[in-house]
A and B are shown apart, each in its own frame.
Chain A
Amino acid sequence: MGARGKQVTGMKINWFSPLPPATTGIANYTQGILPALTTQADVTLWTDRTGWDPTLEKYAWIRHYDPDRMDWVELNRADLSFYNLGNNHLFHAAIWQVSRRAAGIVVLHDFRLHDFFECLYRVQWRDADAYLAQMERQYGEEGLRAATEFVNARKGDYDLMAQRFPLTPLALENSLGTVVHTREAFEELKTAKRFAVVYAPLPAATLVSQRSLSVNRASNPYGLIIFGHIGRNRRLDAVLKALSELPNRDRFRLDIYGKIDDEKTLRQRVQTLRLEDIVTAHGYAPAAKLEQALSAASLAINLRYPTMGEASASQLEIWSHALPTLVTKVGWYASLSEETVAHVRPEHEVEDIRHYLESFLADPDRFARMGERGLSLLQQQHDPDAYVATILSLVSNARQLRLRKAAYDMARRAGVLMRAWAPNSDDASRSVAEKIHAMTAEPGSL
């Protein structure tokens, strides 16, 4: 456990992230890795909020900032800055603003950031023109046309826009490197020349070894659990429908924890499907209560469709309780082994959920083993210490990353200047960029 300012490595980093008690998984993620992170580095946590969990101060220095009045001197005193970005503009707007001015490592918690930028420009800054301009800059005429239709539509298709126009490059254009938590994201970004791309499986927020696993699962009826922010992509309706079609549905109880976007519709659905005795929505639950509920549950349902490409902290939480899980076969979840989760096909949701629930009743031990293998995977691949070692390896390369970025920026500036006299501006610009890239491809060359 690292105490504030006591590190012997001499490594100093800036860490921009939402902090507890902010109601986002990224705040919990930061809190979870902080003990491991601060054994290796002197960490300054930067927040644009005025309040934070005071226990964080045991580990790190905490600095309040305003993105329009940054203390660049303090920022420049660190070896490297890390910017945690996700789709919630309320938590990440200020972080992105700083990241686009002072280059650092962007930790991508969502691989598709269209929601973030769309809300930032249109809702937070009330500047639809800027959103359109960015869409055109990133995706040309096609992007501008789609964005214009999206803006003019009464109810645009957010999911489709995120899939087609993720806008993630906008978050990375001033970065020295990025950390991604999914193989899918890594595969898509790894060919990037301008910045480093590192894959590090999302770390478990709580060290499993520190938790006493008290298995106290109910079996009559069996407990099903759904938790987290219950938005449109959590497929609650499909779950309810599958349950309602189950002849022996009385052998299950479904507990839902967390904020529900459309609670009224949920209540109506539960009534319509006559599930009042089976389904209970508890609302937000403090961590201890959720822990207890996870310990008592027999099967977790953790569906996401569509996905923004994210790895799921909640899945790690589920595994830390050795719970079997139903997940959607998309994005990061699709990459998980059938040994550790049960995959629900998006196009056959109700059918698959019903099938798994029937299978569970027929052979609950098979599902229990699935949960145990999930726990084992968690311990092997999602260890916070290993995660911290991976991302801090970027610090030792920070100088090389800065040199590479400076060369690319120079190429861009040169390309712009050459437009005035080159016969074909695009070719000239690319030629300069390619030459400079050749110079910078060899580490340390200039």
Chain B
Amino acid sequence: MRILITTVQVPFIRGGAEIHAEGLRNALCEFGHEAEILAIPFKWYPPERILDHMLACQLLDISEVAGTRVDLVIGLKFPSYLIPHPNKVLWILHQHRTAYELWDHPLSDLVYYPNGTEVRDVIRQADRKLIPRAKAIFANSRNVAERLKKFCGIDSTPLYHPPPNAERYYCSTVEDFLFFPSRLCIPKRQELVIEALAQTQNSVRVLFAGVSDQPSYANKLMSLARKFKVHDRVEWLGPISADEMRHRYANSIGVIYPPTDEDYGYVTLEAMLSSKPVVTCNDSGGPLEFVLDHKTGLITEPTPDALAAAFDLLWENRAEAKAWGEMGRVRYESFNLSWEHVVNKLLA
């Protein structure tokens, strides 16, 4: 089959969504299909730009290319999933979140604009009307599926997939650090972790890996670490290779991953693959579908003191941390995550 994967791309920014699209394309090709990623540039401010992008997507014709039919379109992200096609399947990574669960939320931007309500209503209306036109609707996680049901009344099937190169994760000798790999940005809550470090009983060390969308934010985090006098207990690794990433996972006591209402989150799965316990929060969304409290990790309130207690618990109880990590690996295996399963579902 000739398959187009539609997504959006914010130029110069790369994260889980890009990896997801590439993983899907590679899997489709591996299973004998001709697949390409069609990425639409996306800008979300001022809010009327969002509507422009929505209309632009709806105006596109990707039913055929140079006289040859496109057999299937798989839509991943808003508003690219609005591109019409007679044979379209959606595998929704997330909707435009500030029009939904993040509308009146500290992470929102839309609500700060005078025309925010207007744009929010149009996004919701378009989703309600146009998403059901797909012949099948899958969601990236149960969390995303629940949001779709809650806000739009649309049923969808959660469809998990493995992180890239899942088979290459391993566990090794534990060193004295907790590991927090993620883009440096407000939703991932590195700030909260720095505040928590200031409240630990032990000299807990944290290695942060990842780059910031905005250089100023990385500087802000470093200043915050100095302000809380924990700068000598944190290390900013910046962008690291996939090999080094796996190495850090393998040598950590445990992995920190407390984002705000994450859609899915590769970090959780990568930690489990590395047999490491995961510290997350009870409002972190996607990770809660995988982490079992006091069995494969710790689920805390999203507060510095609660996170500090969790860090201390892992730091002081290495044997328990190891056991929880191993149980995490077993739990990962129980999900049978595979691209083959994903491809079969999407093409069924």
Instruction: Give how many A-B residue pairs fall within 8 Å (CB-CB).
Output: 50
Can you list 5 A-B contacts (CB < 8 A)? A75-B114, A102-B115, A399-B125, A409-B48, A446-B130
Task: For A72, give its contact among B48, B112, B122, B126 (CB under 8 Å).
Answer: B112
In the bound complex, CA of A72 to CA of B47 (Å): 13
A interface secondary structure, majority: helix
Task: For B104, give its contact among A73, A102, A103, A413 (CB under 8 Å).
Answer: A73
B interface secondary structure, majority: helix
**Contact indicator B51/A410 (Cβ below 8 Å):** yes
**Contact indicator B129/A72 (Cβ below 8 Å):** no
In the bound complex, CA of A115 to CA of B251 (Å): 76
The 3 closest A-B pairs by CB, nearest first: A102-B114, A101-B114, A402-B118
In the assembled complex, B116 has its CB within 8 A of some CB on chain A: yes
Taking residues whose C-beta sits less than 8 angstroms from the other chain, chain A's interface range is 20 to 34
**Contact indicator B129/A399 (Cβ below 8 Å):** no
In the assembled complex, B9 has its CB within 8 A of some CB on chain A: no
Q: What residues on A are CB-neighbors of B129 within 8 Å? A: 446
Task: For B117, give its contact among A76, A410, A414, A446 (CB under 8 Å).
Answer: A76
Q: What residues on B are CB-neighbors of A75 within 8 Å? A: 114
Q: Considering the complex, which residues of chain B in the window 226-262 have a beta carbon less than 8 Å from any beta carbon of chain A?
A: none
In the assembled complex, A403 has its CB within 8 A of some CB on chain B: yes
B residues neighboring A (CB under 8 Å): 48, 51-52, 55, 104, 111-119, 121-122, 125-126, 129-130
In the assembled complex, A329 has its CB within 8 A of some CB on chain B: no
Shortest beta-carbon distance, B114 to chain A, in Å? 4
**Contact indicator A76/B125 (Cβ below 8 Å):** no
Shortest beta-carbon distance, A80 to chain B, in Å? 9
Other A-B pairs, 6, CB within 8 Å; known A72-B114, A446-B125: A72-B116, A73-B112, A101-B114, A399-B121, A399-B125, A446-B122
When C-beta atoms are compared, the residue in chain B nearest to A436 turns out to be B55
Shortest beta-carbon distance, A79 to chain B, in Å? 9
Q: What residues on A are CB-neighbors of B121 within 8 Å? A: 399, 402-403, 406
Q: What residues on A are CB-neighbors of B51 within 8 Å? A: 406, 410
When C-beta atoms are compared, the residue in chain A nearest to B54 turns out to be A410
Task: For A406, give its contact among B113, B122, B130 (CB under 8 Å).
Answer: B122
In the bound complex, CA of A403 to CA of B48 (Å): 13
Shortest beta-carbon distance, A66 to chain B, in Å? 14
In the bound complex, CA of A328 to CA of B121 (Å): 46
In the assembled complex, A215 has its CB within 8 A of some CB on chain B: no
In the assembled complex, A89 has its CB within 8 A of some CB on chain B: no
In the assembled complex, A264 has its CB within 8 A of some CB on chain B: no
Task: For B122, give its contact among A76, A403, A413 (CB under 8 Å).
Answer: A403
